[in-house]
Amino acid sequence: MKPFVSPSILAADFANMQRDIEMLNSSEADWIHVDIMDGVFVPNISFGFPVMKAVKQYATKPLDVHLMIVDPDRYLKAFKDAGADGIMVHYEACTHLHRTIQAIKDLGCRAGVALNPHTNVRLLEDVIADVEQVCVMSVNPGFGGQKFIHNTYKKIRELRTLAELHNPKLFIEIDGGVDVSNASKLIEAGANVLVAGSSVFSAHNPLDAISALKNTQPL
C-alpha cells in the first residue's frame, strides 16, 4: 500500500496560506500536518486557533494536528472545534497519557502519540492498543528544516514489531527531515505516514515533491 503523506504547513508561506492550502487540496497529500508549538514544551511558538480555523476554512483534507504543548488536556476540545481530525500529543508532555488518549477519542478525533528522539518506543507498550497513530520524531521538535536523526530507523523497526503484536493497523508517522532521499528506507523499516515540511514547500514544484513521496517504493 502507498504511504500516507502529510505535508507540514509550518513550512508554508503564511502570507499566502490560502494559496498553499489550495495547492495541497489539489495534490496527492492525504492529510495536512498542523504543528502547534507553545514556546514551553518546545523553544518556538508557531500559531494557534485563529490561524488553524483559517486553514480549516479552505482545507479539503483532514487536519493532522501535532501538539507540541504542555498540558494538552486543557485545549483538546478547542482543537477539535478549530477543525482537528487527528490529534497527537507528546508522550513527554502527558502525566496521564491514557486519560488524554481517551479524551481525544471521546471528542471523535483520531488519537495519536508523538515521541521525542530520546524516548524509547517500548514505553508505549501499555497504550499502543488504544491509539490509532504514533508519530516518531526524527528531529528534536520545535523547528522545520532540521537534519534527520539516523537512529529513527531502529525506532521504527521496534515500533513496527510492537504494532504487529498489539495494533497492526497503527499509523506509524515520521516527522522531521523527511524527503525522497530517506522515504524508501523509512517505509522499508515500517513507517506508513510521511510528514514533510521543507522538502515539499521549498521544492521547485511542491505538487511533484508530494507525488514523489506518495509513490515511494520500499527499498
Question: Could you tell me the smallest distance in angstroms from the CB atom of residue 194 to Zn ion?
Answer: 12
Helices 17-25, 206-214: crossing angle, 10 deg rounding: 40
Q: Is 35 a catalytic residue?
A: yes
Distance CA 218, CA 29 (A): 18
Distance CA 216, CA 191 (A): 12
Residue number closest to ligand DX5, CB atom:
197
Residue 178, C-alpha cell as written in the block:
523527511
Residues 6+ apart with CB under 8 A from 55: 9, 17, 21, 32, 34, 63, 83
Residue 146, C-alpha cell as written in the block:
532540521
Which residues 94-123 are close enough to bind ligand DX5 by CB under 6 A? none
**142 annotated as ligand-binding:** yes
Q: Which stretch binds ligand DX5 (CB under 6 A): 21-29, 75-83, 102-110, 196-204?
A: 196-204
Per-residue contact string for residues 163-202; x = within reach of Zn ion by CB under 5 A: ------------x---------------------------
Q: Judged by CB under 6 A, which of 195, 210, 212, 213 binds ligand DX5? A: 195
Binding site for Zn ion (CB under 5 A): 35, 66, 175
